[in-house]
Amino acid sequence: MNIAIFTSGGDCSGMNPAIKTFVEECYMRDITPYLIYDGLEGLIDDSIKKAEHSDVSRIIYRGGTVLRSSRSKRFFEKEYRVQAYENLKRKDIKKLIVLGGDGSFRALDTFYNDFGIDFIGIPSTIDNDIYGTDYCLGVDTALNVIRRAIDEIRDTAASFKRAFVIETMGRDCGYLALVSALTCGAEVCIIPELEFDLQTLGERLKKEVQEGRNYAIAITAEGSNMSEKIEAWFETEIGLESRISKLGHIQRGGNPTVFDRLIASEFVINALDRLSQTANNHHAIVYTNGSFDFTDIDTVSSGTYTIKPQLLKMGQALCR
């Protein structure tokens, strides 16, 4: 049996530990592992090679993906999918594992419908916004990168008696911002999922300033589009000099945490079990309530991820 793995869409820490586990686990199972470089573009361009142990040595602690990634428009044209299929056919590869998001899963689902190439998608995005799974690979590392940044920015905020508005990534999902605000002691959190009341927030913070508060931390999700407004609000309404710090792509990188290394291996092992034991696979592996399961791509694509109600309830005190 020949199985290939590749990474697609945005990178995240945890991808390299997953790739390492894939290669080593395949050899233990007498499966021949293949690596596809440059995502869907590499599938089209035949950037495919048989994996050796040397390909995955010294990568477990590295962020990003040694296989590199891409966002491919060509793959959505039938002629290029035919080209990709012929590349796999020459190497007798009939099963794939993809580390990516729902866009990558939909692309491979189309490929499955065209040619019957089985695949399992491993949810891998720091946004943690894939429907059907509580956790996506890379989220814990991203949260720790954000935590370190907030802790260091707090030092400057306190030194200069300033308010800092720290913007996290996450597209339209406020998970990173909310969890970071709750675990880093922020005074304000603005996310798309929660209504906010600047008047009530202002009354609380002005009272705290009168009682001695001389700095504040606000965490905003990029999907809220509120960073500039909150910066101005701090200065005009609260009376604190303010700065914005958009953390940007540093959140995608960094040495994978222990949790991301471990769950990466668990995702891959469960995916290999499924591909080895059953046919007609075009599923995503999901992690819910502490266990792994599989769900069809249509369900993943049609659903909308929602943050757990308990987390939202905890966050209400930071937005009103």
Of 60, 59, 12, 10, the closest CA to residue 252 belongs to 12
Residue written as token pair 């940044």 = 149
Report in angstroms the alpha-carbon separations of 208 from 65, 145, 197, 203, 230: 45, 29, 17, 9, 17
- Cα 47 from chain centroid? 25
- Residue 55 is among the residues annotated as catalytic for this protein: no
Supply φ then ψ for residue 129, to 5 degrees: -120, 20
Supply φ then ψ for residue 242, to 5 degrees: -135, 150
Helix (H) or strand (E) holding 285: strand 282-288
The angle formed by the CA atoms of residues 237, 170 and 245, to the nearest 5 degrees, is 45
Report in angstroms the alpha-carbon separations of 49 from 3, 116, 271: 11, 21, 20
Residues 88 and 123 sit within 8 Å (Cβ to Cβ): no
One of 11, 38, 127, 260 is an active-site residue; which one? 127
Ordered strands of the 188-190 beta sheet: 188-190, 216-221, 162-168, 241-246
The catalytic residue positions are 127
